[in-house]
Amino acid sequence: MAAQGKPVLHGYFRSSCSWRVRIAFALKGIEYDQVPVSLVKDGGQQLTDQYKTVNPMQQVPAVTIDGITLSQSLAIIQYIDETRPGPRLLPADPQQRAQVRMISDLIASGIQPLQNLHVIQKIGAEKVQWAQHFINKGFNALESILKQTSGTYCVGNEISMADICLVPQVYNAERFKVDLDQYPTIKRINQTLMELEAFKVSHPTCQPDTPDDLRA
């Protein structure tokens, strides 16, 4: 493969799916460039014709890497994992890999899409209750699953894609004022992860496009 330069992340500081990719890059120690795509400025910069050529789904994140452009955060993360050295983001054991994917998809298909900005805007006045409903439904299930799969982290004692999904979803839950005390395992794992450098440097409060009043 020809040298292609650094990967480019098209993302938004506050997008939980963009944060997932930033964590993956940080865990792998991969340098990348960021192109901010504001989901609120100009009526949503993801809706421009120009961005549509980057990601026809008009969502963030998208990553240009090795001559191709990928969207969908879990596809991006697994591509990074399969093509780059560094700590593995999915376990070697097939059953543990399946558990990592199950937890990742529970969040990425079962929770996040139902409380993302586009959906919430369509819901209107009831948006906080709507988001809380789906986050609580998902976290109830997740808490129960994590009681069986977790060690220090979501699946056993190695950081995985499941942890990469967990932390940004907890951040969203806090934004929607979900009571995390109901979910002691989620809360414990999130706190442990937030001590780690890769989760700190990728946090929404310290990205190039973070507004000054939201900076940590």
User: Of 16, 45, 99, 207, which lies in the binding site for a copy of itself, with binding defined by CB under 8 A?
Assistant: 99
Name the residue nearer to a copy of itself (CB basis): 44 or 113.
113
Member of 5, 43, 87, 102 binding a copy of itself (CB under 8 A): 102
Query: HSE on the CB side for 67, CA within 13 Å?
Result: 4
Segment interacting with a copy of itself (CB under 8 A) among 42-50, 56-64, 177-185, 190-198: 56-64
Q: Is 186 in the site for a copy of itself (CB under 8 A)?
A: no
Supply the minimum distance, in Å, between the C-beta of residue 216 and a copy of itself.
Answer: 29
Choose, by CB under 8 A, the member of 35, 88, 105, 187 that binds a copy of itself: 105
Give the Å distances, CA to CA, from 84 to 18, 88, 118, 179. 19, 9, 33, 38
Could you tell me where the beta strands, DSSP code E, fall in the chain? 8-11, 33-36, 62-65, 68-71
The whole-angstrom distance between residue 6's C-alpha and the CA centroid of its chain comes to: 20
Closest approach of a copy of itself to the CB of residue 41, in Å: 21
Q: Does 206 bind a copy of itself (CB under 8 A)?
A: no
Contact string (CB under 8 A) for a copy of itself, positions 147-176, x = contact:
------------------------------
Q: Which stretch binds a copy of itself (CB under 8 A): 32-40, 91-99, 164-172, 198-206?
A: 91-99
**Using rule CB under 8 A, residue 86 touches a copy of itself:** no
Q: How many angstroms from the chain centroid is the CA of residue 37?
A: 16
Crossing angle for the helix pair 161-175 and 127-149, nearest 10 degrees? Answer: 150
Residue 114 belongs to what H/E stretch?
none
Contact assessment for residue 89 and residue 77, using Cβ atoms and an 8 Å cutoff: yes
Residue 96 sits at the vertex; the CA angle it makes with 60 and 64, to the nearest 5 degrees, is 25
CA distance 109 to 96: 19
Pair of tokens at residue 164: 């990469």
Nearest one of 203, 206, 210, 212 to 168, comparing CA atoms? 203
With CB under 8 A as the contact rule, the residue among 36, 44, 88, 110 that binds a copy of itself is 110
Q: Which is nearer to a copy of itself, 97 or 212 (CB)?
A: 97
Q: Name the site residues for a copy of itself (rule: CB under 8 A).
A: 55-59, 66, 68, 70-72, 74-76, 78-79, 82-83, 94-95, 97-99, 101-102, 104-106, 108-110, 112-114, 119, 122, 130, 133, 137-138, 140-142, 144-145
